[in-house]
Amino acid sequence: MKTCLIVDDSRVIRKVSRHILETLGFAVTEADNGKSALDACDDAMPDVVLLDWNMPVMTGIEFLVHLRQRPGGDAPKVVFCTTENDVAHICEAIAAGADEYVMKPFDHETLQIKLQLVGFA
């Protein structure tokens, strides 16, 4: 089964994302910040990471940089899900190792398309 780690400090976003991902056949785990997400990746590296940008403890960019430096950290497809939509933020995310980028709020169809683009839907 495909696995996805949702990393977002918003419980509502995690709940909505989980529902969408489970209907797409993913086994889902959650983290509310980048630090706990790294711990989750150390326990079991997911196939896909749905990643928020602005979080306490460790931001999405900080998480992504650390993830990509870990053994096996180059494997997960990372989709940033954020309200930051300017070109500078998108370029920063891609440079840090993101595979795709989706704007909040998103719906089932939008997330499914992004997951198809990274080969997981």
Digit-coded pLDDT (tens) for 45-82: 999 999 999 999 999 999 999 999 999 999 999 999 98
Provide the β-strand partners of residue 31: 7
Q: What percent of the chain has pLDDT over 70?
A: 99
Instruction: Compute the distance between CA of residue 115 and CA of residue 66 in angstroms, rounded to an integer.
Output: 22
Is the distance from CB of 119 to CB of 77 less than 8 angstroms?
yes
Model confidence pLDDT, tens digit, residues 89-110: 999 999 999 999 999 989 999 9
Q: What is the pTM of this model?
A: 0.96
Residues in the chain, total: 121
The CATH number of 3-118, from 3.40.1190.20, 3.40.50.2300, 1.20.1530.20, 1.10.3720.10, is 3.40.50.2300
Q: Which of 7, 78, 25 is closest to 47 using CA atoms?
A: 78
* Bridge partner list, 2: 26
